[in-house]
Every structure is written in C-alpha cells, then in structure tokens.
Amino acid sequence: MKSFNNYLEITGKGQLEDIINFIGTPVIALLTGLLFALLLPKKLEKSMLSVDGWTGKALKDAAIILMITGAGAGGVFGKVFQDSSLSSEIGGALGTASLGLFLPFLISSALKTAQGSSTVAMITTASIVAPLLIPLGLTSDLSIALAVLSIGAGSAVVSHANDSFFWIVTQMTGMNVSTGFRLHSVGTGIFGLSAFIIVMMIQLIFN
C-alpha cells in the first residue's frame, strides 16, 4: 500500500495514510475478502459452515497444501535454507567460473529445485549474484536486466513435491502425484529452460 500512497501523493499526510495502510495489512485484506465471500450465496445458512458445507470442503482441499507450504519451502525448510551458509558456499564456489548469465540461472534453479520456493530462490540468488556482476562481466544495463531475467527463469525449474504450487495444481486438477511429476514438473522445467534460452538469444542479438 506504500506504492498506492505514493501514487496518490498522500504519503506523510497523517490519518488518511494510516487508514490506507491499515486496509492494506495482509490480515485485514484477507478478512475483507472473507466478508465479501459471505455475500456470494443467495442465502447464508449455518450448514455452509459445517464439515460438509463450503467451509469443510474448502479446509479439506486446502489442508494438504497449507501443511506442505508451512513445513516445506514456504516455511520451516525455506527459512533454514536461508539462514544456513550453503547458498553463500555455492556462490563462492561458482563465482570464479566464467559462466556469465548461466550462473544466476544455475544457482536459482538449484535453489528452487532443492527447497521449492521460487521467492526464496530469487531473493537468495540475487543476494549471491549482486557482488559477482563485475567479475561475471555483467556491467551494462542490458546485462544486469538479463541477469534478473535469468534468475526468474531459474526460479521456475523444477516445481515438484516440495513446492506448494505443485500440490495446488495436482489437487485442484485431480492429478495423482505421478501424473503431476510427468506433466507439471516436466512442464515447469521446459518453461524455465525455454525462458533462459530466450534470455541468451537476446544477449547474443543485442550485446
């Protein structure tokens, strides 16, 4: 909401800014969405909040995804990975190699595949690659922009069982796990590699 305040030029104008920031707080925003969702049925009945109603079915569908996200990439495991020195060791070991744009992609894809969270992979890779831009020869504005795109491409490779996105797709489409691996995991791998190939083509054309 800070960007929204800046856009409306009301930053620093006291109460109005506080109100907008309050509305934009994640808990309040989600609670507002919940209240609007209660307006969807023509008639709100107590049975909708039962185990067999809307609430029960929604919790049943979401429970597995929430547990995996909380315990895995988006929660405990992701935090442990961020706080460990493993990412720094990877960056130090590969930083001396003349890999160019392949290094951001390689680190990002390795982190994504290892712990599942694209956000963690991108943020961690960015912190590793930023001091290495000059040694990698990525000094121009275009090269830096392509490095960012390489990190984004790597963060898509590969979505599998430790990624909550994998479970959202498989659960909501009725896929079993093996089908999810064959379709979703392979598909995200192809997506990430294709994106990186396009980035490399842009570098060859405009560099």
Q: What is the domain range of residue 103?
A: 51-206
46 domain-assigned: no
pLDDT one-digit tens code per residue, 31-62 = 888 888 878 777 777 777 777 777 777 777 77
21 domain-assigned: yes
Q: What pLDDT, on a 0 to 100 scale, did the predictor assign at position 124?
A: 80
Q: What pLDDT, on a 0 to 100 scale, did the predictor assign at position 9?
A: 58
Buried b (16+ CB within 10 A) or exposed e, 131-159: ebeeebebeeeebeebbbbbbbbbbbbbb
Q: What pLDDT, on a 0 to 100 scale, did the predictor assign at position 2?
A: 54
Structural domains counted in the chain: 2
Shared domain check, 68 and 33 = no
Q: What pLDDT, on a 0 to 100 scale, did the predictor assign at position 69?
A: 60
Shared domain check, 25 and 116 = no
66 domain-assigned: yes
Shared domain check, 35 and 76 = no
Shared domain check, 96 and 15 = no
Contact predicate 143/203, CB 8 Å: yes
132 domain-assigned: yes
pTM of the model: 0.64
45 domain-assigned: no
Shared domain check, 110 and 29 = no
68 domain-assigned: yes
- State how far the Cα of 77 lies from the Cα of 72, in Å rounded to an integer: 5
Shared domain check, 146 and 107 = yes
- State how far the Cα of 110 lies from the Cα of 71, in Å rounded to an integer: 20
Contact predicate 112/121, CB 8 Å: yes
105 domain-assigned: yes
Shared domain check, 87 and 16 = no
Please report, in tens digits, the pLDDT of each residue of the chain (207 residues total): 556 555 555 555 567 777 777 777 878 888 888 888 878 777 777 777 777 777 777 777 777 666 766 665 455 655 666 566 665 666 566 655 667 889 899 889 988 888 788 887 888 888 778 877 887 788 888 999 999 999 999 999 988 888 878 888 888 888 888 999 999 999 999 999 999 999 999 999 987
189 domain-assigned: yes
Q: What pLDDT, on a 0 to 100 scale, did the predictor assign at position 6?
A: 59
The packing angle between helices 102-115 and 141-154, to 10°, is 20
Shared domain check, 32 and 107 = no
